[in-house]
Structure 1
Amino acid sequence: MKTSQEIIELFLANTTNPDVIKSVVDINATYISLNFDNPELQKIMPWAGTHRDGAKGFIDTFAGVNEFWTIQDFEVQDIFSEGDKVAVFGSFTYTSKTLNKQVNSPFSILAKVRDERIYHFMFMEDTFATAGSFRLTPAGTFHSDPKGTEFGL
């Protein structure tokens, strides 16, 4: 019997293999990709949001990532588990296929595994940076500091 951590390691080593994904993802699994529900981000990265359709959400997400970017590096720096929970931390380097812009981002994953099946998976990254790899024009004008003034990017 595989541990929860071994299941997540198997998944991460096979994110483009639908057969492996189907073998380790529960049919009712929830996959939260980058946020719960952000229609603006979904225009840039259609897979963003909450998916409650088992392996399909995982397969569609990683297919989209591979369609939109060339992956130079995906490195797990730390992984640990307690019971059914697995936490993963690392970084990746992608280059957008449309604009050839490279981005490096940290990532974190909170996964839950029961009976050798992933039933919950939350993937977080620096979405401002990754979405920026598709940016054609400046990001806009911001005013974040209540004591400061607006500025453009």
Structure 2
Amino acid sequence: MGLIQAASRQRRFWVAVAVLKVEAAPILVAVQESPTTSKERAMFNDAKEIVNELYSRIGVGDPEAAAELFAEPVDWDIPGAPGVVPWIGTRQSRAEIVEFFTSLDTKYLIRDYFTIDRVVADGDHAVAIGRLRATVRDTGKVIVSPFTIHFTVTGGQITHFLMLEDSWNVAEAFTN
């Protein structure tokens, strides 16, 4: 992870850019502004900061640390065809979340990119908007999809995770 120091008019802040390298292709995972004052650190419990921290932890390849941001149980769902696509469906525990993040790239996909274009928040809710491109290891077919992920953050932990992607395209890529 690279750090870039930048200065604003009234304060200094650190911007963390997490780049994950998979199969020799760099993947921009998240951009995060790190809090530097005690007031800013106290605001870390807001939904946007938690989501940015999640993608920072994923970007440095730490699924256990990423899972720590989720409540247990969590209401996790990626709708689609769970009988066809192995990572689709519901999860409730941190162990299941660690397995999800660990197996996605090691068992199922060769990622070209997974980019978060924007995170917007309103109160306890945040939505990550992005796009992805990956090749399915078993079939060699390519998935290209925009996506959104809706998060609810309560008490500094993610209590709800709903990822919406082109589930038809994803399922088609898993069929021979």
Number of corresponding residues? 130
**1 or 2, which has the higher strand percentage?**
2
* Structure 1 residue matching 2:82: 3-state secondary structure: helix
List per-residue Cα deviations over 1:60-115 (Å, max 9, x = no partner). Answer: 32233222011110111221101110011110001111122222101111101122
Question: 2: CA distance between counterparts of 1:76 and 1:18?
Answer: 18
TM-score under structure 1 normalisation? 0.76
Question: 1: CA distance between counterparts of 2:155 and 2:98?
Answer: 20
TM-score under structure 2 normalisation? 0.67
Change (3 A) 1:133 1:13: farther
* Structure 1 residue matching 2:53: 3-state secondary structure: helix
Moved over 3 A (4+): none
Aligned equivalent of 1:60, options 99, 113, 132? 99
Question: 2: CA distance between counterparts of 1:34 and 1:62?
Answer: 17
**One-letter identity of the residue aligned with 2:98:** I
* Structure 2 residue matching 1:13: 3-state secondary structure: helix
Could you tell me which runs of 5 or more consecutive residues in structure 1 were left unpaired when the two chains were aligned.
36-40, 137-153
Tell me what 2:64 maps to.
19
Aligned equivalent of 2:167, options 93, 103, 127? 127
Tell me what 1:10 maps to.
53
Could you tell me which runs of 5 or more consecutive residues in structure 2 were left unpaired when the two chains were aligned.
1-41
Tell me what 1:38 maps to.
none
Change (3 A) 1:71 1:118: same
Q: RMSD of aligned C-alpha atoms? A: 1.7
Percent of counterpart pairs with the same letter?
A: 20
